[in-house]
Amino acid sequence: MGMTMTQKILAAHAGLPEVHAGDLIEANLDIVLGNDVTTPVAISVFEKAGFTKVFDPEKIVIALDHYTPCKDIKSAELCKTARDFARKHKITHLYDVGTVGIEHALLPEQGLVGPGDCVIGADSHTCTYGALGAFSTGVGSTDMAAGMASGQNWFKVPSAIKVELVGKPGSCISGKDVILHLIGEIGVDGALYQSLEFTGEGVANLSIDDRFTIANMAIEAGGKNGIFPVDDVAKDYIQGRFQREPVIYEADPDAEYTRTATIDLSKLEPTVSLPHLPSNTKTVSEAVGMPIQQVVIGSCTNGRISDLRIAASILNGKKIADGVRCIVIPATQEIYLQALQEGLVEDFIHAGCAVSTPTCGPCLGGHMGVMAAGERAVTTTNRNFVGRMGDTKSEVILASPAVAAASALAGCIADPREL
C-alpha cells in the first residue's frame, strides 16, 4: 500500500523506507517553534531535565507574538525569560517587538519553513505550513523542550482524509469560506488525529494565502495537520524566501485514505461560524442581521496582505457603523509596511478603524480588543469557543475578511456580495 504526502515526509525524517498509519516513530526536526506563552514553559522543562544546550540554535524559532507589546508585568516576565534563554543559547531566530509578526505568518514569510519539512511548534496552529507541502503540527511545551534538546520528536503516524477540491471560487469566496464549510461538514472532531490532504484541480484556483488559511484551521476539525501539493503557486511563493533546498513529495496513487470529501468551490457561499464552535456554520445569508459590537481583521489565519486588500476594498470611502469597533491587525511588519505603501492603512483609518502593530492580541482574549459580557464580534480569527475573546458571556463569529468588513459597515452580519 502506498503512502500519503504526510507519511512520506515522516518516513524520510525517521530514516525509514515506509511508514503506515498507527506506527510510532521518532523523526528528525527541521524547525522547533515557540512563542511568548509556550516557550517559558518549555524552558522550565528543558532546565529541570538537566539539558544544557540546544541541538541547533539555527533551527529553533521563538516569536514573541501573543501578548506583545507586553500588556502587563506577567507578559513582560514571560518575554524576558524567552529573551534570556535565546541569548544564552545563541538562538538565531528570536523575533521580538519591532521585528516580530504573528508566528504562522512570519515563518513562511521569512523563508524558515518550506516543502518537505518536518516542523513542530508549541502552538496548535503550527499546521499552517502544510500550505507549502510541509508536515507541521502543534505540540505541547514538553515536546518543544525535548525537540530543542534533541532535534527529534516522536509521532504516531496519522491516517488521512483526502479533500478533493473542484471548480473555481465565485465572488467574495476565500480560503476561510472553504475551511469553514469543510469543518461544518465533518465537525470539530471529524479529522481527529488525521491528515487533511487537499488535492484536485480546484487547488490551482486557490492563492497561497487561501491555502495558509485552510491549513491553519485543519486543527479546528481535529486534524493532526493539513497539507497541500507543491505546485507552481507554492514554488512561486518560496522563490527567494526559503533558505534550504525544498524536497517535494507527492502521495502515491494507491495511498490509503479513511474517506474522501469533495468540495465544489464554485458552489460555495460566504460562510460564518456562529458561537460557540467552528463547526456551527451557516451561509452568510442565513445569519444576516445579527447585531455586533466589534470586528477584528487579522490573526495567523487572515492577517496577510491579500486579506487586508479585500477588507480595504470594501471599507474604502465608507464609515464603520456607529457602535462598532473595528480593529485591523497586519500579521507581520512586512505586511504592515506593504499596507502602508499601498494606502490600505489610510483607508482603514479614514473608515474609522484602529490599526494595530502585529500581535495575536484579541484572538486569544489577550489584549487589543477583549470583549465585555453581552458583546458580540465578527472576526477573521480561528476559534469561537466560550470566552475565547473575553468574557464568557461574549460571543465570537468567525468569518472571512470580506464578511468582516461588510459587517463592520452594517453594524450586523452582512453579505459582502450585496454592497
Question: Is residue 72 domain-shared with residue 175, that is, in the same domain?
Answer: yes
What does the pLDDT read at residue 237?
A: 97
Torsion angles phi and psi, residue 391, rounded to 5: -55, 145
Reported as a single tens digit per residue, the pLDDT across 363-379 is: 999 999 999 999 999 99
Question: Is residue 160 domain-shared with residue 250, that is, in the same domain?
Answer: yes
**Full domain range(s) for residue 13:** 5-263
What does the pLDDT read at residue 419?
A: 82
Percent of the chain with pLDDT over 90: 98
- Among 229, 263, 297, identify where a domain stops: 263
Given a cut of 80, whether residue 1 has pLDDT beyond it is no
Question: Is residue 228 domain-shared with residue 289, that is, in the same domain?
Answer: no
How far apart are alpha carbons 210 and 279 in whole angstroms? 19
What does the pLDDT read at residue 22?
A: 96
Question: Is residue 314 domain-shared with residue 259, that is, in the same domain?
Answer: no
Alpha-carbon distances, residue 359 vs 25, 285, 343, 379, 396 (angstroms): 35, 31, 21, 15, 18
Reported as a single tens digit per residue, the pLDDT across 24-58 is: 999 999 999 999 999 999 999 999 999 999 999 99
Q: Which amino acid is at 306?
A: S
Confidence of residue 243 (pLDDT cuts 50, 70, 90): confident
- Residue 258 is part of a domain; what is its CATH number? 3.30.499.10
Question: Is residue 257 domain-shared with residue 299, that is, in the same domain?
Answer: no
Nine cell digits for residue 147: 525537540
Number of domains comprising the chain: 2
Question: Is residue 164 domain-shared with residue 185, that is, in the same domain?
Answer: yes
DSSP 5-46: HHHHHHHHHHT-S---TT-EEEEE-SEEEEETTTHHHHHHHH
Given a cut of 80, whether residue 73 has pLDDT beyond it is yes
Question: Is residue 224 domain-shared with residue 323, that is, in the same domain?
Answer: no
Question: Is residue 245 domain-shared with residue 299, that is, in the same domain?
Answer: no
How far apart are alpha carbons 7 and 254 in whole angstroms? 13
Residues 6+ apart with CB under 8 A from 314: 402, 405, 406, 409, 416, 419
Q: Max Cα separation, the chain? A: 62
Question: Is residue 197 domain-shared with residue 340, that is, in the same domain?
Answer: no
- Among 237, 263, 289, identify where a domain stops: 263
- Rounded-to-10 torsion of CA 72, 76, 78, 80: 180
Q: Are strands 135-138 and 152-156 parallel, antiparallel or unpaired?
A: unpaired
Reported as a single tens digit per residue, the pLDDT across 87-141 is: 999 999 999 999 999 999 999 999 999 999 999 999 999 999 999 999 999 999 9
Question: Is residue 146 domain-shared with residue 256, that is, in the same domain?
Answer: yes
**Summary mean pLDDT of the chain:** 96
pTM of this structure: 0.96
Reported as a single tens digit per residue, the pLDDT across 136-170 is: 999 999 999 999 999 999 999 999 999 999 999 99
How far apart are alpha carbons 229 and 323 in whole angstroms? 44
Question: Is residue 39 domain-shared with residue 174, that is, in the same domain?
Answer: yes
Reported as a single tens digit per residue, the pLDDT across 379-401 is: 999 999 999 999 999 999 999 99
Q: Which amino acid is at 248?
A: I
Question: Is residue 255 domain-shared with residue 218, that is, in the same domain?
Answer: yes
Closest CA to 383 of 239, 217, 226: 217
- Among 263, 281, 305, identify where a domain stops: 263
Local structure of 94: helix, strand or coil: strand
